[in-house]
Structure 1
């Protein structure tokens, strides 16, 4: 199975425009930044110094990451670092690790697609991971990853039916299933910024080395946790058709520009060849 590489010019563009900051985030535009927490990214949407209630957290990292998220939020936004809400792209363990802690501490609403609610209200576990796909140590270890739900039922709300995003003017949410039933991505047309979650990613997540170093490569969703490849393919094609200028994904470095778009287009066109595992569990 081949990968979709990103050219060195795209990597250089990323390195110049996405510098490390004193709040330990990487800013991609004035009001969007992200922080890598071991193997996963969390996103901070709002202007620096915006103050409490004037920014949004997208996803909540791995277990034990509440302190890092809280610290980055306080440094970036000031005040007590409290957001207006938390938006979940999906509810896998590496995206909900600090969710219960932060939602309860901040007393803020949590929004997701209704298809993810069973995994966020304590009622349903995800299917077990498939260690036979993708190769790499993370894939082999994936049966050890938690699949049980978290429970933020008292603070959990559906995303609006009109596809607007609470507390994020100009953004809309897009249902991008495949990796999970209720997976969403976030899109802003005016500057063509895409927060893709795990609909596609920019690192080979099955490999520990790649997941830690985040060397830029265009990939489909993490193989070991993706049960519906037909929907995943349709989701990638829908996102590629948007022709984004900047993408930030749940795993891997944010990327921008024509090389990124060419790689995303190639992933969409060759999805069955480069993203779908040939030895997946029946």
Structure 2
């Protein structure tokens, strides 16, 4: 008998949004970004085909939105070859069960993220005591309980390849979560970051709403290992990406990306790590 999928008991719609919500952007001919409230999901694939890969699964209650974008870009009968998760926080798996049920699709994640996706281990509770704005203060309402998608969950290949995304490799970028990954294509320098770093101050309600561009470390209230987070940003900077598509905020390109990312590496303690908090 198959095991029934379920969200945690604390699963719920989160009333947060931004001026970018509902907006889609073609970053490359084969990479499309769509913003759902305050988080980005990505569609990889040739829009002239009906095959694609979905990277991350948005906010709670966003399945219909994601399905509509997929149908518009790839055709009504299109279905993904896979869903790739950068990590399993609520705003990146919010529609995952509905999408699995609709598309009957495998989900890939890092092995170290598996306990949070199989109902075994809850994420640490968000830290509302960190230095930051109103989003940090309201973070205790964010879901942190494990979800269970065991029967559809597959490990990312140990050779670093990304299923159905030729040319991409996954890079282990822990700190924000133990099994966080980013996706990198060396051929053109494309980096799908997840939350290893973001381009908006995610703890500030005003900046989240306005989507004011500002490179920053991972969201403070959900990051539990700051040394790993810093090491992960260093690792990504060494790749010398030419495009960074982040889980929160706007994409960065070229010289601006290089300069901002190097500044983040050099000033991570001052820019990213909060002065206080239970995970410091």
**Post-superposition offset of 1:188:** 0.3
Instruction: Establish whether residue 62 from structure 1 lines up as the match of residue 59 from structure 2.
Output: yes
Q: Distance in 1 between matches of 2:227 and 2:246?
A: 20
> Any unmatched runs of 5+ in structure 1?
1-19
Report the 3-state secondary structure (helix = DSSP H, G, I; strand = E; otherwise coil) of the residue aligned with 1:264: helix
Q: Distance in 1 between matches of 2:53 and 2:131?
A: 33
Report the 3-state secondary structure (helix = DSSP H, G, I; strand = E; otherwise coil) of the residue aligned with 1:84: strand
Report the 3-state secondary structure (helix = DSSP H, G, I; strand = E; otherwise coil) of the residue aligned with 1:95: coil
User: Is contact 2:192–2:244 with CA below 8 Å preserved after alignment?
Assistant: yes
Name which of 220, 234, 237 aligns with 2:234: 237
2:83 matched to which residue of 1? 86
Name which of 196, 199, 203 aligns with 2:193: 196
Query: RMSD between aligned alpha carbons?
Result: 1.2
- Listed one character per residue, the Cα deviations across residues 19-50 of structure 1 (whole Å, up to 9, x for unaligned) are x9xx9521111100111101100000011131
- Listed one character per residue, the Cα deviations across residues 57-114 of structure 1 (whole Å, up to 9, x for unaligned) are 0000000110110000000011323100000000000001000110121101000000
1:250 matched to which residue of 2? 247
Q: Which has the higher contact order (CA 8 A, sep 6+)?
A: 1
Q: Matches of residues 201-212 of structure 1 in structure 2 within 5 Å? A: 201-212=198-209
1:12 matched to which residue of 2? none
Instruction: Establish whether residue 43 from structure 1 lines up as the match of residue 50 from structure 2.
Output: no
Q: Distance in 2 between matches of 1:230 and 1:163?
A: 23
1:221 matched to which residue of 2? 218
User: Is contact 1:37–1:62 with CA below 8 Å preserved after alignment?
Assistant: yes
User: Is contact 2:131–2:275 with CA below 8 Å preserved after alignment?
Assistant: no
Report the 3-state secondary structure (helix = DSSP H, G, I; strand = E; otherwise coil) of the residue aligned with 2:79: coil
Equivalent residues, number:
259
Aligned CA distance change for structure 1 residues 35 and 134 (closer, same or farther; 3 Å): farther
2:101 matched to which residue of 1? 104
1:174 matched to which residue of 2? 171
Q: Distance in 2 between matches of 1:219 and 1:24?
A: 22
Instruction: Establish whether residue 77 from structure 1 lines up as the match of residue 100 from structure 2.
Output: no
Report the 3-state secondary structure (helix = DSSP H, G, I; strand = E; otherwise coil) of the residue aligned with 1:234: helix
Instruction: Establish whether residue 126 from structure 1 lines up as the match of residue 123 from structure 2.
Output: yes
**Post-superposition offset of 1:217:** 0.6
User: Is contact 1:192–1:244 with CA below 8 Å preserved after alignment?
Assistant: yes
Report the 3-state secondary structure (helix = DSSP H, G, I; strand = E; otherwise coil) of the residue aligned with 2:277: coil
Report the 3-state secondary structure (helix = DSSP H, G, I; strand = E; otherwise coil) of the residue aligned with 1:210: helix
User: Is contact 2:59–2:95 with CA below 8 Å preserved after alignment?
Assistant: yes
Name which of 184, 187, 191 aligns with 1:187: 184
- Listed one character per residue, the Cα deviations across residues 209-238 of structure 1 (whole Å, up to 9, x for unaligned) are 211221111000000000000000000000
1:29 matched to which residue of 2? 28
Hey, which of these two has a bigger chunk of helix by percent?
Answer: 1
Report the 3-state secondary structure (helix = DSSP H, G, I; strand = E; otherwise coil) of the residue aligned with 2:91: helix
- Listed one character per residue, the Cα deviations across residues 1-20 of structure 1 (whole Å, up to 9, x for unaligned) are xxxxxxxxxxxxxxxxxxx9
